[in-house]
Amino acid sequence: MSAPATRLSVNLNKIALLRNTRQTGVPDVEKFGRIALAAGAGGLTVHPRPDRRHIRDEDVRSVARLMADYPAAEFNIEGYPGAGFLALVTDVRPTQCTLVPDAWDAVTSDTGWDIPGSRPLLERSVSMLKAAGIRVILFMDPSARMIERVPETGADGVEIYTGTYAAAFRRGTYREQLDQCVAAAAKADQLGLVVNAGHDLNLRNLPPLLSRASIHEVSIGHELTADALRSGFAATVRRYAAVVAKTVE
């Protein structure tokens, strides 16, 4: 029996980061979101951080309006569940919200939730978001032991952090890290959770992961944007979408 198709969600943060180095509005986040969807992306991801270094509130709202033209695509908003973030998300009401335990000054998302230590915050946040009809995902390290605790929060699924796997892949010694991601995905699937993955995934390290793990969605921004500097944005999205589609058979 064929595994469910994996969805490619294009993260637009780096488009916004480049835009914010000038005051011209170029490149336009909404336009690049439209290019990604037209080129075969199954969804878009944005991650507004507290310092608004890239995605801003107006970007979240403009991308939300764009999604109305692509009813089959999914809109995913990532972020730390502070009061301002939760208010924005419940107002916009995306398909999915991925809660990430980012520190205020985090350079990037590089660790998952410690559920015992964050359970009260997560329970409150998950309850609020689900009441608004939003699927809730928790950003988690590739630890089957910690993923066992996710149902306690009421969340619908997990996004498995793949940064450690990607770093090991660059070194050429990634078997152990890949095994950890696969075991984490299997545990989440066993628990009936949605299984997403993301961080530093690219055209080279995606096939080994998706050939062994059933993944609902991969969220990719930095590596895709870097590849687009060589090949063009639309062409690169098409390449990533093709790799995702061909890997799961």
Asked about 78 being catalytic, the answer comes back as yes
CA distance 119 to 167: 29
- Close Cβ partners of 106 (under 8 Å, ≥ 6 residues apart): 49
Active site residue 148: no
Q: Which of 47, 74, 159, 223 is catalytic?
A: 47
Candidate list 30, 74, 78, 159, residue with the active-site label: 78
Question: Taking Cα atoms as reference points, which of 143, 219, 153 lies closest to residue 188?
Answer: 143
Catalytic residue list contains 199: yes
Sign of CA dihedral 223, 229, 234, 238: negative
From the list 74, 159, 199, 216, the catalytic residue is: 199
What is the full DSSP assignment across 103-143?
A: -TT-SS------HHHHHHHHHHHHHHHHHTT-EEEEEE-S-
Number of Cα atoms under 13 Å in the Cβ half of residue 137 = 28
CB 18 within 8 A of CB 220: no
Residues annotated as catalytic (active site), given as ranges? 47, 78, 199
